[in-house]
Amino acid sequence: MTRLAVEANERLFTTAPSPVVLGFILFPMRILVAEDEKKIARLVRKGLAEQGYTVDVCHRGDDALAMASTEPYDAVILDIMLPGRDGLSVLRMLREKKMAVPVMFLTARGEVSARWTSCWRASAHCCAASPAKN
C-alpha cells in the first residue's frame, strides 16, 4: 500500500482509530481476552468493543491456548492466574508454536515483582495491573 493510500485511510477513519486499515477496506482487530473473573472479562470486552475491536473471551488457560492456536488474533490479553493452565504457560506454548501475536498480561499484582519479570522473560509485550483486582 502506498503512503498516500495510508494517509487517505487515516483521514477517513479518524473517529475509529482501532481498526486495522488495509487498502480502503476496514478489518477490525480481533482480540482474545482470557480472564477467569467474569465481571472483569465483561468490562474489558465492553471497553474494547466500544473502541471497535472484535473480542472473544474465555475463562480458562487451556481454552485460551486452544483458541489462540486455531484462530487468527491480532492481540491476546491474558490473566496470569488462570485455571487449568496459567497465563505464563499459555504464552510459552504460543511462542513454542512460533506464534508472534502480541500478548499483554493483566494481573492483580500491581507492584513490580517476580511476576512482572516473569511476564517479560516469557516475551510478553506488556503487563498491566487490573485496578479492579487491587
Ramachandran angles phi, psi of 29, nearest 5°? -65, 140
Share of the chain above pLDDT 90, in %: 34
Grid cell for residue 92: 510459552
The predicted structure's pLDDT at residue 29: 87
The predicted structure's pLDDT at residue 100: 82
Separation between Cα atoms, residue 41 and residue 7, nearest integer Å: 34
The predicted structure's pLDDT at residue 122: 63
Task: State the virtual CA torsion across 18, 20, 58, 67 in degrees, nearest 10.
Answer: -170
pLDDT beneath 70, residues of the chain: 1-27, 108-134
Task: Quote the pTM value.
Answer: 0.72
| Domains annotated on the chain, with CATH | 29-129 (3.40.50.2300)
Give kind and range of the element (H or E) at residue 107: strand 103-107
Query: What is the per-residue pLDDT across 3-32, written as a single tens digit (0 to 9) for each?
Result: 444 444 444 444 444 555 544 456 678 999
Side chain identity at residue 21, one-letter code = V
